[in-house]
Amino acid sequence: MSEPTRNEAKPKRAPRRPKSRSLTPELSNKANKSPKKPPTGSKSKTRSKASKVKEVKNDYRYLEIIKLLKYHHPITVNGVPTSKITSPLKEYIHQMMTNDATIDIYLSFRLQPSDPDFPYDVETLNFSLRIPGNYPYRKDALPTIVVLNEEIPRGFAVNVEVGFKKIAGIAIAGEKYVISREEEDEEIAIELVEGKGLLSQIKTLDKYLEEFLKEEKKQTFKFITFKEDKKKNEMLAKQEQEQQKRQQEKLRQKKIQEEQQQNKEVDAGVIRRRNELIEEMMNKLGSHLKLFSKNSNENKYQVSIPIYEGGIPELWRFNRELKIIMHIPIDYPGTPVTLSPLNNFNTNLMLKYKKSLENQESTKLISLVEEAKFFEKKMISNFNKSNFAQPAHQNLVYVVNYLANNLVKLGLVDEYSLYLQNMKKCIV
């Protein structure tokens, strides 16, 4: 065949189709469309507000709270007595979440056990329910309760609080828990009642309340009864409200500090100086110090403080040693050292010396733990606020020695003395 000449028409080729690109919807919109300016004027504000209201009304957390309130009327909402709330509770909570969608909701209830054969002398379970701001969208955002009954010793109240935490874990994270019945030599699985929401969790708490109260201490126990005191109840409600405000402020400050620590760059010289101070402390304190945990923001050390003087909680004196967590920030001494309690330290001490304290009454044992926790909380608070903990005192050995020599000064205050007097009245 002869080759085609230049004048002969060549066959037309089909146009090439552009290659397909996998763009996300957001990138695709940016590539094809120019961003629209938001409308100005009062109409845009109205639309924004309307969409926000609609979002809260459709929020699962809001819907679950409203469903719960249909069956159980709360005593307080975030520390405010419902008797003083003029608007309907549904609207009041809606407004709270509209103003701040991430706010933690605190509801206090009096739950009457539904079991007609409930064996304990408890008319109602009084508790404060905390619903985290990111519930139920995160598996670790579990609702929690704090038992408020004065007639229930703290050790048994903790059983109920831990039991509810297990219920929430089953509902939110799909976990599985069982309750051991040693007397009958069997285990029963905790099963949710009617769904997985907040109402279901409270109903499940009611179902297993007796089981939770029976845990750990199997022998019969006697509840301490108190006379009804209106002024005392008002004071407790006020204390609860103040405590909730402090917790919210503490969480807010913690978030701010975490963001600041993540955003700031620490000079290499500062880190080198910090490591030198830590090494000096470890060499001098030896077995009294061990690394607890370490991350990019701080080092945590477990410090053992010998107990030599009086005025210290009886449980610590019996142990002759206090263990506490010391936080050393990455930019120390730019940011001061702080303290935090070692989890379950006081409770474990009671269990450790339980046999040695056999002659003590159960209420006395509980009071020993409460005494130590109260002292520990005040001591840590005063330490973290004290002037000596500022960057001027860079020597970490000095910081530990100051703590060891000033335990009484940091913890034994008028408030603590009053607490001891009240504890003695309860025991007598």
The answer to the question of residue 10 being in a domain is no
Shared-domain flag, residues 282 and 240: no
Q: Are residues 249 and 235 in the same domain?
A: yes
Q: Domain for residue 141, yes or no?
A: yes
- Confidence at residue 34, expressed as pLDDT on a 0 to 100 scale: 44
In this structure, are 205 and 284 located in the same domain? Answer: no
Query: Are residues 279 and 252 both part of a single domain?
Result: no
Q: Say if 392 falls within a structural domain.
A: yes
Q: Are the CB atoms for 354 and 365 separated by under 8 Å? A: yes
β partners of residue 329: 298
In this structure, are 397 and 281 located in the same domain? Answer: yes
Ramachandran quadrant class, 63 (left: phi over 0; alpha: psi -120 to 50; beta: rest): alpha
Residue 19 lies in a domain: no
The CA distance from 403 to 383, in Å, is 8
Least confident piece of the model among 109-123, 210-224, 246-260? 210-224
Residues 251 and 210 grouped into a single domain: no
Decide which of 174, 209, 225 is a domain's last residue.
225
Q: Which residue has the higher pLDDT, 151 or 37?
A: 151
Residue bearing the bigger pLDDT, 9 or 79: 79
Q: How far apart are CA 337 and CA 399, in angstroms?
A: 8
CA distance 190 to 22: 47
Q: What is the mean pLDDT of residues 195-220?
A: 83
Query: What is the DSSP code string of 162-183?
Result: HHHHHHHHHHHH----EEEETT
pLDDT of residue 25 exceeding 70: no
| Residue carrying the six token digits 């060549």 | 10
Q: What pLDDT does residue 365 have?
A: 62
**pLDDT tens-place string over residues 304-350:** 988 876 677 877 877 788 899 999 988 888 888 889 988 877 777 76
152 to 24, 33, 121, 147, 363: CA distances (angstroms): 57, 65, 9, 9, 10
Most confident residue range from 61-65, 213-217, 314-318:
61-65
What's the number of domains the chain is made of?
A: 3
SS3 427: helix
Judge if 177 and 257 occupy the same domain.
Answer: no
Kindly state whether residue 160 falls inside one of the protein's structural domains. yes
Indicate if 78 and 151 belong to the same structural domain: yes
pTM, rounded to two decimals: 0.42
Does residue 280 lie within any of the structural domains?
A: yes
Q: How many CB atoms lie within 10 A of CB 111?
A: 18
CATH number (domain holding residue 310): 3.10.110
**Do 305 and 411 share a domain, yes or no?**
yes
Q: Is the pLDDT of residue 52 over 80?
A: no
C-alpha to C-alpha distance for 213 and 153, rounded to whole angstroms: 10
Domain around 120: 51-225
Task: Kindly state the helix (H) or strand (E) to which residue 232 belongs, with its residue range.
Answer: helix 230-263
